[in-house]
């Protein structure tokens, strides 16, 4: 197998512009957990499937690698602080971020551009991550710009349009 410089490979992957999501679930004892992810993909309309890829380094990896339900919140363009909280803060993230309970009691982030509540369809081990496939059981969306990420920085299309 070819050896790569991990940092250089990560930088190359980072050239791909993505949206920013918060993936949430509940532990077996009902505590909300979540993480910032840009590894979100729509997979299928029939059945309605999507995927996210939690890292094995997550403190909540065990929850996500065994959950029966999870939610994906696509962040709006004014929610960079929410992304940073779920990416960096070690305390109770849900104390800092406004949210409400959706289907199956899943934590949904207030103000998100779109939200998908999912039943776990399949969990596939994949290197230092797993692929978490979910079947969408409910969703909401609103007319709001979305937060983007590329080359280690946030961006919004609203900023881009204003600059143009």
pLDDT in tens, 14-50: 777 889 999 999 999 999 999 999 889 999 999 999 9
- In this prediction the pTM is 0.90
Q: What value does the mean pLDDT take over residues 112-118?
A: 98
- Cα(68)–Cα(130) distance, integer angstroms: 15
What are the DSSP E strand ranges found in the chain? 18-19, 21-26, 32-37, 40-45, 48-52, 69-74, 99-101, 107-109, 114-126, 129-141, 147-150, 153-156
């Amino acid at each position: 197998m070819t050896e790569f410089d991990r940092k250089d490979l990560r930088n190359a992957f980072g050239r791909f512009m993505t949206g920013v999501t918060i993936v949430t679930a509940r532990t077996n004892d009902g505590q909300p957990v979540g993480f910032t992810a840009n590894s979100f993909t729509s997979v299928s309309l029939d059945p309605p499937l999507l995927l996210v890829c939690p890292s094995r380094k997550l403190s909540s990896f065990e929850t996500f690698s065994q959950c029966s339900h999870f939610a994906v919140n696509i962040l709006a363009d004014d929610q960079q602080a929410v992304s940073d909280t779920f990416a960096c803060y070690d305390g109770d993230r849900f104390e800092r971020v406004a949210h409400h309970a959706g289907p199956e009691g899943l934590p949904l982030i207030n103000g998100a551009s779109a939200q998908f509540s999912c039943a776990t369809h399949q969990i596939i081990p994949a290197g230092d991550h797993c692929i978490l496939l979910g079947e969408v059981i409910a969703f909401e969306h609103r007319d709001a710009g979305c937060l983007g990420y590329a080359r280690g920085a946030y961006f919004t299309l609203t900023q881009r349009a204003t600059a143009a």
